[in-house]
Amino acid sequence: MPRPLPSTYPKEQRWRFIQRSIPDDQLVSFANALVESHNKELHQSLPNILHFVDPTNKDIDSLNHEWLSIWVNIMHQGGLGYTITSKGREETRLIATDLSQYLADTKNTTAYYYYWALRFQYPWAFPKHDHYIKNKVFIQPIVLICQYIDQLEKKTGNLKDVFLTKYEIAQFLMKSTNHAQSTIKTNCDEIIANRKKGYDYGLERQNREFVEAAEHLFSRGRLFIRNFNLLSFLSDRITVKDIDTLAKLRVFLSYRNSPFVFKENSQDVRNEFFIETYTELDPDPEILLDSVYSKIQNLAVFHRKKTVVKPQPMTPTKVVNPQDTRATFGTGTREERKFQQQLKRDMVSLYNGRCCVCGLDRQEFLIASHIVGVKVDPSIAADRHNCLLLCVLHDRAMERGYFGLRDDYTIVANHDKLLRHPILVREIVKREGQRIQLPNDLSFYPSVKFVQRHRIAHGISEQPVSSTQTHLP
């Protein structure tokens, strides 16, 4: 949602979006291809990256055209990756982001679009970017629309008034020189006043560029924004469909960060933006999605009540390992692990509600984590001896093989994988040799054979164990 010059709406300063509706399966395939091509030379990777667009063989000129005209925009504006050109060498390498890795691993496009909407930011690699640096206009457009929707409800108290027309967006959001809360409140006052007097932006609509800027969002822009289901396009306006959606939107806004500030118009700074925004994901996309859909939290946020939840002492419950430990999946559009709910309850009970690596005790951050992955061996997916209780960070790190466990349940880091992740190095290497917190029931200790399978699968060599360490059963 770029800010045009005060008196005009030049074409290059319209809000540019991905100009294509992307089916979920193609988006996941694209993310997979980017992950497979991570740190590889672009020219050699294009046939693999674009193989799902058209199965017929293409020459490199055709591939380059498809890449530059469509898919490079999806990669950049979707937060899935970026390119690095080696200095002094004619070589451009692809870098897949952690968000791309997340999408490839989970295929959870709903959670992906929530994270993308939260962190998506415009503008970047266009000539007008110098104008933004000079005027310090850096925004997250979907977040900004949500802020206006939120403010309109607070001012009117009436859901029927909670919308933005395409002309209001062009006049107030696109032209605003800053996006402080005070500015949003002032602009909302003017929007409400204009509606009361029936103002139709006739003067502004005499400017062809104003009309084109307004129409752009409701034609090409909506192709991607509509995948973020808290906002609804209705005729010439963006709105929310009901009170519950508005409550969810407010939870979503609670995760808002200050926009990234570009210091200069350079590829290095834009790459820094990708690293800071789409690598080392904050929050985890599934935590974001789960939090937004928590009914209790939604009601608390919507009614603006301060609720204090007193921690209750953990009372272990009896855990029984099922006779059939195979994974069972639902048949809905999203793969659903039917056994996961009970598995989580059992792990919380066995590990006293704490991550067995770091001790985090916030339930919304804890996961019943598999040692041998479900897709690797579905036959032991529900086996309690194949599970740990881990926080989101340590679950994802163990799943991807950044660390494993020795046979005595002490942590062993995979130093080869940790090299390019300084934050993970600090978080995991400092715990190397530390024994995880074991279950309160001896009969449910993790199976050593599953621990060994995990190490072998990820190429983690078990370093010698100190003689002072006690070997546990």
One-letter amino acid identity for 432? E
Percent of the chain at pLDDT > 70 equals 75
Going by pLDDT thresholds of 50, 70 and 90, the confidence category of residue 135 is low
The SS3 of residue 88 is coil
Model pLDDT, residue 112: 95
| pLDDT at 126 > cutoff 60 | no
Which of 58-72, 115-129, 151-165, 303-317 ranks highest by mean pLDDT? 151-165
Give residue 131's pLDDT: 55
Q: How many other C-beta atoms lie within 10 A of the C-beta of residue 54?
A: 11
Q: What gap in Å lies between CA 460 and CA 284, rounded to an integer? A: 25
- Residue 96 confidence (pLDDT) above 80: yes
Task: Give the pLDDT of residue 473.
Answer: 31
Q: How crowded is the C-beta side of 445, counted as CA atoms within 13 Å? A: 15
Provide the 10 A C-beta neighbour count for residue 2. 23
pLDDT tens track for 196-250: 999 999 998 998 878 877 887 777 667 677 889 999 988 889 999 888 899 999 9
Residue 4: band (very low, low, confident or very high) from pLDDT cuts 50, 70, 90: very low
Residue 310 φ then ψ, to 5°: -80, 130
Quick one: which of 402, 314, 319, 315 has its CA closest to 361? Answer: 314
Q: Say if residue 360's pLDDT is above 80.
A: yes
Average pLDDT over residues 157-167: 91
Least confident interval from 95-109, 180-194, 265-279, 436-450: 265-279
**Average pLDDT, whole number, for the chain?**
79
pLDDT at res. 132: 56
Q: Is the pLDDT of residue 192 over 50?
A: yes
* Band (306; pLDDT cuts 50, 70, 90): very low
pTM above 0.85, yes or no: no
Q: What is the mean pLDDT of residues 350-359?
A: 91
Preceding peptide of 283 cis, ω within 30°: yes
pLDDT(6) > 60: no
Structure tokens at 470: 């006690």
What does the pLDDT average to over 152-176? 89
Is residue 105 pLDDT above 80, yes or no? yes
- Token pair listed for 157: 């108290």
pLDDT at 465 over 50: no
Q: Residue 369: in which H helix or E strand, if any? A: strand 366-370
Given this model, what pLDDT does residue 335 score? 42
77 or 52, which is more confident: 77
Tell the residue number behind the tokens 């609804």, with chain if given.
232
pLDDT for position 342: 82
Q: What percent of the chain has pLDDT over 90?
A: 32
Instruction: Determine which of 87-91, 201-205, 424-428 has the lowest per-residue pLDDT on average.
Output: 87-91
> CB 169: neighbour CB atoms within 10 A?
24
Model confidence at 82: pLDDT above 70? yes
- Give the Å distances, CA to CA, from 63 to 21, 44, 112, 363, 464: 20, 11, 27, 47, 50
pLDDT, position 385: 94
Pairing of strands 92-96, 163-165: unpaired
Q: What is the dihedral of CA 271, 273, 279, 285, to 10 degrees?
A: -140
